[in-house]
Structure 1
Amino acid sequence: MQVSIRRLQSHEDYAKCVALQKATWGEHFQECVPPAILMVSQKIGGVTAGAFDAQGNLIGFVFGLTGIKDGQPVHWSHMLAVSKEAQGQGLGYRLKLFQRQLLLETGVKIVYWTYDPLVARNAHLNLNKLGAKVEEYVEEMYGDDTGSDLHRGIGMDRFIVAWHIDDESVRNRLAGVYPAPPSDWKSIPVVNSSELRNGLPAPMQLELYEASRIRVEIPPDISLIQKTSLETAAQWRESTRKAFLHYQAKGYRVTHFVRDQQQNRYFYILNCNVET
């Protein structure tokens, strides 16, 4: 697919972006960013960029605001979406690279955003491919009801991540150099191991181990579970929420996101011996 990525510029561009927001999060989504904000944010250092196909259709976008934190310019990347038809082609990754280049040109070195810790594909993109680091777990960050079916039954818990876009570690990730997980990662205790219930992976009883490293499991596809069993989806949220909040309070940090390919299981590795 032939794709071009550029800043959004015209009223038509911004209208297409609002339409894609509704297509992604649903017609009743209460948090759509209106055209005026998409436009004026770019006048003060923000980024609103889109991916367009050969016919000029907007098939993906990234939007964020630039501000000051601790006396330094930073960027908050608020939204990233790719249309269903264009998913699986690396467009989200390409949009983040375009965003990064624009921000480096303006002197921004740190980008923040949030994502749902239960979404495995986003964890892989953010932590493994881009090299962002988890800063904090926040319960119900955006409230408990946005009007979107994507958030139905599981609320809006989020990881806040920081992407140090000019660090050597990030440059290495973008060059395809990925640090290997610990060689013994499969022996690290899992606090919420899963089992199959009615054909779906579901977390077993939470065991809050006292160990220097632990694993927190998430399902391969939380959206599929939401569509099939809201009860099971809610169990995943409750299990992971308790685990992340417990270990966060004790100073643990997320250091890796890994997949057991043989069993198709996904884990965060948390470590209490990490310098911040």
Structure 2
Amino acid sequence: MMDEQFSPDRVRATRERADVELAVAALHPQRFGLSKHRDGWITQVPGLGNVVYASLAWPHAQCPSYDVVNGERVPMDALSFVMQLQAEVWGFPPEFLVPMNILAILADTGGSVLVAYREDQGFNADGWLGFAIALGGRSGTLVSHMLGVREEMRGVRDLGWRLKVLQGYEALRTGHRSAIWTFDPMRGANARLNIEKLGATVRELTIDKYGVLISELYGDVPSDRFTAHWDLVAASTHRRLEDVRLGRYPGPSPDELRAMPEITAENAEELAASAPAFARYRIPADVDSLMLSNPARANEWRTEMRAALAPFMTVKAARISGNAGETPLDIGVDVRYGAYDVVAFASAEAIPSDRENWYILRRRGGLA
């Protein structure tokens, strides 16, 4: 008879607990310059002073804060203020916002509402810096829904990166081993954070995930989205976060980039059939600037991206064979499976003042 102490299930459970304990230590906020501050965390940021990171829950619906509208303070509770921040960052209409009654219960699902703000000003229109919203997920996967950073703070001081690391730490503490979220593949800043600085990988492209979004940020364009998969217990994730913290993650070299075949809409089918270990796909240096200067080209590029990546990646699209008004059962999802994942992101100067952004795709099993 097998000793229960060494049964496969018990050994596996012990190993999983050890993996989570190592992950909690690797993502502990103190490793990233944060100190415990009451029920939250605090760090000093040059030019901002002390920055506080805090979790919000249902009691904050009874906690006063304020927005500023037309130069006048408008009193509101802290969760309603998070709603206003969603509108400010994305330009969403009210029906696209996560409402306060849902924000109030996210912690009960194992999710979180995290905010960052200046200690000397508080969490309000004057002091807020960023926020991250996530839902507890099934099978140990957190579903991160929104990450927003004050416009003038984007791309500097690692505010968004720290919010995501803290989100990952809290996810581990609530029983999650991974996290997923979607992002616009055309936005290099998002790719840099998600893939390069957090170490997430992209396994699928979903066509028109949210339908046509009504948003000042995105405009009237299809909502094609990458899904980022972030393995919170993987040693590779922990190494990436440590390298970024120490400023030593170099990314692919120019020579490595040039050695990879480039994917285009014209050559995608033939190139995918040749099954290279790696390939690269270029996105705009700044899609917002391109939308302003040449919106037709920006929209054309989005269409080309579908054709270019479809032969390589897993692609999901709505299957509509009827009218949902008659029966939603006629609506489903078509999946075309691909052999490649997006595993890296690179940004380089092609010529002075001309930046190139590249996704790097790797064939599964294509790297020893």
The TM-score range, normalised by the shorter chain, is: 0.7 to 0.9
Q: TM-score, normalised by structure 1?
A: 0.87
Partner of 1:189: 261
Distance 1:272 1:97, change over 3 A: closer
Partner of 1:237: 302
Partner of 2:56: 8
Any unmatched runs of 5+ in structure 2?
1-47, 62-76, 314-336
Partner of 1:254: 342
Alignment of 1:102-113 (within 5 A): 102-113=170-181
Partner of 2:284: 219
Determine which of 340, 343, 358 is the counterpart of 1:267.
Answer: 358
Determine which of 118, 129, 154 is the counterpart of 1:59.
Answer: 129
Larger gyration radius, structure 1 or structure 2: 2
* Cα distance per residue 1:218-238 (max 9 Å; x no partner): 011111111222211101101
Q: TM-score, normalised by structure 2?
A: 0.66
* Cα distance per residue 1:201-246 (max 9 Å; x no partner): xxxx632242413221001111111122221110110111211112
Asked whether the 8 Å contact 1:114–1:160 carries over to 2, the reply is yes
Any unmatched runs of 5+ in structure 1?
193-204
Alignment of 1:1-276 (within 5 A): 1-2=48-49, 3-9=51-57, 10-11=60-61, 12-28=77-93, 30-53=95-118, 54-56=120-122, 57-68=127-138, 72-87=139-154, 88-143=156-211, 145-176=212-243, 178=249, 180-181=251-252, 184-192=256-264, 206-208=266-268, 209-210=270-271, 211=274, 212=276, 213-248=278-313, 249-263=337-351, 264-274=355-365
* Cα distance per residue 1:28-70 (max 9 Å; x no partner): 26421001101111122111110112311322110011121xx
Q: Point out 4+ residue stretches in structure 1 off by more than 2 angstroms.
A: 27-30, 177-185, 260-263, 271-276
Where relative contact order (Cα < 8 A, 6+ residues apart) is larger, the structure is: 1
Of 48-57 and 148-157, the range deviating more from structure 2: 148-157
Partner of 1:200: none
Q: Note the C-alpha offset of 1:154.
A: 3.0
Letter of the structure 2 residue corresponding to residue 268 of structure 1: Y
Distance 1:46 1:275, change over 3 A: farther
* Cα distance per residue 1:137-187 (max 9 Å; x no partner): 1110111x2210222243210011110112110110111164743753213
CA distance in 2, matches of 1:255, 1:101: 22
Q: Sequence identity, in percent?
A: 30
